[in-house]
Amino acid sequence: MMKMESIRSKQHQLPNDKGGLMIADIYPSRKSAEPQILLRHDPVVYTEMQDGMFLSREQKQEFEEKGFLVLKNIFSEVEIRLLQQELSDLRQRSKELKGREEVISEPNSGEIRSIFKIHDSSPVFSRLARDSRLVHAAQDILADEVYIHQSRLNYKPGFEGKEFYWHSDFETWHVEDGLPNMRTVSISITLTDNTPQNGALMLIPGSHKDFISCVGETPEDHYKESLKKQEYGVPDHDSLEYLANKGGIEQALGPAGTVVIFDCNTMHGSNSNITPYARSNAFFVYNSMQNKAQAPFGNIPPRPEFVATREKFVAVRPEERPLLKT
Ligand code: 6CS
Ligand code: FE
């Protein structure tokens, strides 16, 4: 693998009360009565600004500036059909899957909203998670080996698919999962056409460089509500307006097979889907092996393994071959 000159993220360590060291919380959130806009301490692109294993220099520069990339024509028709077949098979099996903690239904209907930990439960999505086009893209940004912090299928079914309100993933992954630094990227692969009408992902360019410190105390077992409808750890209106006025709002549009790569702190959300056409995507969250989940910085019990890897950190070995029926 190409030797990657990595720029170390700054981990501030402080003495704890047991004579040891603890990692300082450089992104405090849900701790004060007033929202704050804090500066990002960490780099966005950790590698040198030159062509990488998968991303070009220009793509890395765009990611650095905007906080996301939308790439089309990455997967072949055959590969996309394989992924869509698996999406449909998992939906068919949803009856027996329902009740399992990794299967999340829509708040107002029995429709499937998300299935988590698909990199473990589905051979097809496990293979996709290791695909060298995705892993190398993540490594081109993070300059390190990576493990999967979280994976999920978001179905956003026709007529019933509810919104994902504005949020920074990192705010949750820092406060509730204990990721110390911003050295994490999400890679989403659209499994249906994502159009302006059916609830495509919206992202705020440049928002990854401001950390919105949110107000509010994290409820116990927050994930049981937040994965259906997130109400804590979401930014206040003034902060959102500030970010949107500064950077605008862009939609990640494209046919099935479009790849959206976004920084862990890029502000994003998506509207409800009242069209007849599902907006289904697979998401894989690649975290640097130097940024492993610690004790949650919100001083709350860690979230379960299906939402945040913590028991075993296994660096992903990139697979070069095309996606085929496993
Ligand atoms: O809480 C989480 O980890 C999940 N929630 C959202 C809305 N995005 C990130 C992640 O999938
Ligand atoms: Fe998110």
Q: pLDDT tens for residues 182-233?
A: 999 999 999 999 999 999 999 999 999 999 999 988 888 999 888 888 888 8
Buried b (16+ CB within 10 A) or exposed e, 201-210: bbbbbbbbbb
pTM of the model: 0.94
Please work out whether the CB of residue 186 comes within 6 Å of at least one atom of ligand 1: no
Please, which pLDDT band fits residue 9 given cuts at 50, 70 and 90? low
| pLDDT at residue 265 greater than cutoff 50 | yes
State which of 173, 177, 227, 263 you would mutate to test the pocket of ligand 1, scoring each by most atoms of that ligand within 8 A of its C-beta: 227
> Ligand 2 (ion): which residues have CB within 5 A?
169
**Alpha-carbon gap, residue 25 to 303, rounded angstroms:** 18
Average pLDDT over residues 8-29: 75
More confident: 31 or 9: 31
- Which tokens hold the place of 14? 């402080």
- Which tokens hold the place of 227? 């994965």
- Portion of the chain with pLDDT greater than 90, in percent: 78
Q: pLDDT tens for residues 305-324?
A: 999 999 999 999 999 977 87
Buried b (16+ CB within 10 A) or exposed e, 232-247: bbbbeeebbebbbeeb
pLDDT of 326: 53
